[in-house]
A and B are shown apart, each in its own frame.
Chain A
Amino acid sequence: MQSKPFKASVIQTASVAFNPWKTIDRLKEYTYRAAQEGARLVVFPEAFVGGHAKGLGFGSVMGTCTQEGREAFQMYYEGAVDVPGEATHRIGQAALENNVYLVTGAIERELGTLFCVVLFFAPDGSLLGKHRKLMPTGTERLVWGFGDGSTLPVFDTPLGRIGAVICWENYMPMLRLTMYSKGISLYCVPTADHRETWLPTMRHIAREGRCYVLSACQYGRRSDFPENYPLKEEVAADTVLARGGSCIIDPMGNVLKGPVFGEDLIHTASIDPGLLTRSKFDLDVAGNSGRPDIFTLHVDERPRRLVNSITTD
C-alpha cells in the first residue's frame, strides 16, 4: 500500500435508465472529469449501468402481477449487462484511458435472473471482479436475485484495499465485519438510499471500520428515464426521483465531502493512507477490539451452484 495521499472521487449523476451503452458513454465522461481532478479511484452509484428502477411497483400485489409488470421486467432485463461482456470491456476502457481504479454499480443478467452487482476495474482496464448484492430490499426482491458468499472480494491494490458494500447491505453487521477482517481501507458504497439517515450511517461505518467510506448515490430526474417508464402516477419531467447525498468520510468518521442533494456533481477528496493506521490506534474491530475468545463468525464463501454437471472427462 502506498503511503502518500492521493485523490478519490464519487460520482453523483443519473444513469440513462435501461440503456447501458449510453450510460457507459456518460460513465466515460464522468471518469474523465474525475481524472482531470486528479482522482485515482472513481466510484459510481448502485445499479448505475442498467439503472435503478426507482419508484416502480412492477405491477405486483400479493398473489398476482399485471402484464405491464412483466413488460417492465422485460425492459429492465434488456437493459442489463453480461459479466464479463461487451459492457465490462467498455467500462474497462474508461478505467484504462483515465488510469484509475473504477468501481461501479450495474445490473447483471444471468440466465433469467438479474443481480445488482458492483464491478471493479483496474487502471490497466481489466475487470478485477464483482460483488453481487446479498440481500435486496422491498420491491428489489421481485427483480433481483440474491448473491452468494463467493463474491465478497476486497482487492489489495497500490492505493489500498478496495471493496464494496451496496445500499442496505450496509446495515448487515456480519457482512461489514467480513469486510473489516479483509482489511478493507477504501470502503465503496454504491447506493440508492438518499435519506437523511444515510450520512450518519456512513459516518458510523467509517468510524467502526476505521476505513475511508466513499458513498455514491444517483441524482436523477424523471427525464433521465424513458418516456414509457411505467410509474404508477406520472410526474413532471424535472421531478427528482433520486436526490443524491453522496459523501466521502475519513476513518475517524469526519465528513470530507458532501452530502449535497439535488445537484449533479463529482466529489473529490484527498485520501491519506497514514490516517488509516493512526485511526486503528484505539480501535480495530477485526483485531485488538474483536474478542475472538467469545465471537466466531463463520463465512461461507463457496459458490453455490444449483446444477452441477458431471461428465465422463
Chain B
Amino acid sequence: MNNLGIPGPYTAAVVQAAPCGFDTQATLDRVAAWTSSAASQKARLVVFPEAFVGSYPYGIDFGTRIGLRTPEGREMFARFYRAAIEIPGPEVSELAAIAKANTCYLVIGAVERAAGTLYSSALHFSPEGQFLGSRRKLNSVGVERYVWGRGDGSGIAVFDTPIGNIGAIMGCENYMPPLRMAMYAQSMNLYCAPTTDDSDVWPCSMRTVAMEGRSFVLSACQVLRLADLPENYPIEDEAGAGDFLIRGGSCIVDPLGVVLAEPAYENECLLTAEIDMSKVARGKYDFDVVGHYARPDVFRLEVGASQQLAVRSVTQADAALHIPARSE
C-alpha cells in the first residue's frame, strides 16, 4: 500500500462454477474447493455467482398460472425453501471460515431465508473470517418474482476495505441506474456482479458499468447442467444431462472498460486478473459519475435507506418519551 492508502497490484478471482443443486452442504464444499483454488493463485478477492448457495432453480415455473398454483409447485417452493440459508446461521459461519482459511475477501450469492420469504442475497466476508454484511436483491426478473422477496434500501452498502471498496449488484439489478448511482456514491471501485445472466449482451453491460463507475467489475455467472441438479428436477427442457442450462460468461473488466479476463462459456473455470487500483484515479480524470460529471443542479437522487418493516413494536413508554421505535 502506498502513502495514499492505495494498495499495490494484487490478484482477484471470479469463480464460474455450478452449485450442487438443492444440496447446500455439498455446495459449501464446492465453495471451499474453488476458494482454495483461487487462493493458490494468490487471489485476495474471490467472487461467486448469484444464488450459488441454495441454488438457482433454472427452468421451472413453480406450477404457477394466472389465478392458480399447483400442489407440485408448492412442494417445489418448499424444497427451495429448505435449501436456503439463514443470516446469520451455520452456513454463514462456514463461509466466514472459508474466507479466513484462504485469507481472502469473499463475495457470494446465496438464497436467504427470512421467516417465510426467500431473498437473493450477496454476502461479504473478510480475510479475518468476519461476516461484513449482506444485501438483498431489490428487484427480480420473471419467475424469480414468484419465489424471491424484494430487499429494501437499508442494505445498499459498499464495504471499505484495504484492497478497495467492495459492493455487489446482482443479476438484473445491474439494469437499475439509481441503484448503481447509490453504490457509486459510496466510492465503490470493486463492483462485484454475481449473476445468472448468460446472454451475449451481459459482457457489454459489464464493460459499460465499469466505464460508468470507473470501477473494476468482477462478474461471476453460474454454469449449470442438468447433471448438477437432482434427478427428479421437474424441468421441461429436452436438454441432455451434460448440456448447459446456464452457460457462464463471467468476466473481469477494468475502469476504462478494458476486458481483463474474457468471458468464458460452457466450462467451469476460475478467471483471475491483476487489480491495479491506481487505474481508478486515472479513469476518474475525464469521468466521475457522482462528481465532476454529475450535474447535481439538474439531477438529485434521493435514496430511502430506511429499513422497511412490516411490523414495528412501539411500547407506550417509548411513545411518551418520543424514543424512535426499535427495529428488532
Chain A residues within CB distance 8 Å of chain B: 134-135, 137-138, 146, 148-149, 168, 171-178, 197, 199-201, 203-205, 207-208, 252-254, 282-283, 285, 289-291, 293-301, 304
Besides A283-B175, A295-B182, 14 more A-B contacts (Cβ < 8 Å) are A149-B297, A171-B289, A174-B301, A203-B205, A207-B205, A208-B175, A289-B176, A290-B178, A291-B178, A296-B301, A298-B301, A299-B298, A300-B299, A300-B300
Whole-angstrom CA separation of A289 from B141 in the bound complex: 8
Which of A171, A252, A294 counts the most chain B CB atoms within 10 A? A294
Whole-angstrom CA separation of A207 from B181 in the bound complex: 18
Assess whether A168 is in contact with B287, with CB atoms less than 8 Å apart.
yes
B188–chain A nearest beta-carbon distance, Å = 13
A-B pairs with beta carbons under 8 Å apart, 17 shown: A135-B293, A173-B289, A174-B178, A174-B294, A200-B205, A204-B201, A207-B204, A283-B141, A285-B175, A289-B176, A291-B176, A294-B303, A295-B178, A295-B302, A295-B304, A297-B300, A299-B298
Assess whether A293 is in contact with B287, with CB atoms less than 8 Å apart.
no
- For chain B, give the interface size range: 35 or more
Assess whether A201 is in contact with B211, with CB atoms less than 8 Å apart.
yes
Answer whether residue B162 sits at the interface, using C-beta atoms and an 8 A cutoff.
no
A282 CB contact (under 8 Å) in B142, B180, B204, B289: B142
Which residues of the partner chain B approach A177 to less than 8 Å between Cβ atoms? 177-178
Assess whether A299 is in contact with B299, with CB atoms less than 8 Å apart.
yes
Assess whether A174 is in contact with B181, with CB atoms less than 8 Å apart.
yes
Whole-angstrom CA separation of A283 from B141 in the bound complex: 7
The total number of A-B Cβ pairs within 8 Å is 144
Residue of B nearest to A150 (CB): B298
Assess whether B211 is in contact with A173, with CB atoms less than 8 Å apart.
no
Which of A201, A204, A205 counts the most chain B CB atoms within 10 A? A204
A200–chain B nearest beta-carbon distance, Å = 4
Residue of A nearest to B256 (CB): A197
Which residues of the partner chain B approach A148 to less than 8 Å between Cβ atoms? 297-298
Residue of A nearest to B285 (CB): A138
A292–chain B nearest beta-carbon distance, Å = 9
Residue of B nearest to A298 (CB): B300
B130–chain A nearest beta-carbon distance, Å = 27
Known: A197-B207, A201-B207, A253-B201. A296 touches B302 (CB 8 A): yes
Whole-angstrom CA separation of A176 from B295 in the bound complex: 13
The 8 closest A-B pairs by CB, nearest first: A200-B204, A173-B177, A253-B201, A174-B299, A295-B178, A204-B208, A149-B298, A294-B153
Q: Which of B209-224 contact A (CB under 8 A)?
A: 209, 211-212
Answer whether residue B250 sits at the interface, using C-beta atoms and an 8 A cutoff.
no
A98–chain B nearest beta-carbon distance, Å = 33
Answer whether residue B257 sits at the interface, using C-beta atoms and an 8 A cutoff.
yes
Which of B200, B257, B295 counts the most chain A CB atoms within 10 A? B295
Answer whether residue B308 sits at the interface, using C-beta atoms and an 8 A cutoff.
yes
Which residues of the partner chain B approach A149 to less than 8 Å between Cβ atoms? 297-299
B310–chain A nearest beta-carbon distance, Å = 13
Interface string of B138-166 (1 = CB under 8 A from A): 11011000000010110010000000000
Answer whether residue B83 sits at the interface, using C-beta atoms and an 8 A cutoff.
no
Q: Which of B184-208 contact A (CB under 8 A)?
A: 199-201, 203-205, 207-208
Answer whether residue B261 sits at the interface, using C-beta atoms and an 8 A cutoff.
no
Assess whether B203 is in contact with A200, with CB atoms less than 8 Å apart.
yes
Residue of B nearest to A253 (CB): B201
B301 CB contact (under 8 Å) in A203, A253, A295: A295
Residue of B nearest to A300 (CB): B298
Whole-angstrom CA separation of A297 from B304 in the bound complex: 11
B11–chain A nearest beta-carbon distance, Å = 24
Which residues of the partner chain A approach B150 to less than 8 Å between Cβ atoms? 291
A172 CB contact (under 8 Å) in B138, B139, B286, B293: B293
Residue of B nearest to A210 (CB): B175
B305–chain A nearest beta-carbon distance, Å = 8
A148–chain B nearest beta-carbon distance, Å = 7
B137–chain A nearest beta-carbon distance, Å = 11
Which of A171, A176, A177, A293 counts the most chain B CB atoms within 10 A? A171
